[in-house]
Amino acid sequence: MPVAPLSQKEIEDRLAELPDWSADADRLTRTYRLGTHFAATAMVVHVAQVQEELDHHSDLTLGYNTVSLTVNTHSVGGAITDLDFQLAHRVEDLAPGHGAA
């Protein structure tokens, strides 16, 4: 099924479900602050597994105890699509305090 860019209104509506995420014209972003470097590294591994399952890969940045994600869909010129929000929701489910990570 083809993926289409979301309108600004659709993006704003969907961000209401992800209050710690932000968006600019062409990407979703979120930084997670974890307790330790080990926890941050483990989260990167879990996010990578989800990315493989969805066949949708974000940019990940690992800091000492932080993990930052930048998400957009390259196949539609780097716009924000439903696939980006699917990934964001899955990552939220992994985050400490939300689920399995």
- 95: phi then psi, degrees, rounded to nearest 5: -65, 145
What does the alpha-carbon distance between residue 94 and residue 101 come to, in Å, rounded to a whole number? 5
What does the alpha-carbon distance between residue 80 and residue 41 come to, in Å, rounded to a whole number? 26
Between 28 and 25, whose confidence is greater? 28
| Confidence bin at 59 (pLDDT 50/70/90) | very high
Per-residue pLDDT for 1 more than 60?
Answer: no
Give the tens place of pLDDT for each residue, 61-97.
999 999 999 999 998 999 999 999 999 999 999 987 7
What is the spatial order of strands in the sheet that 59-62 belongs to?
A: 22-23, 28-33, 66-71, 59-62
Span 6-16, mean pLDDT? 97
Give the C-alpha distances (Å, rounded to integers) separating 59 from 9, 10, 91. Answer: 24, 22, 13
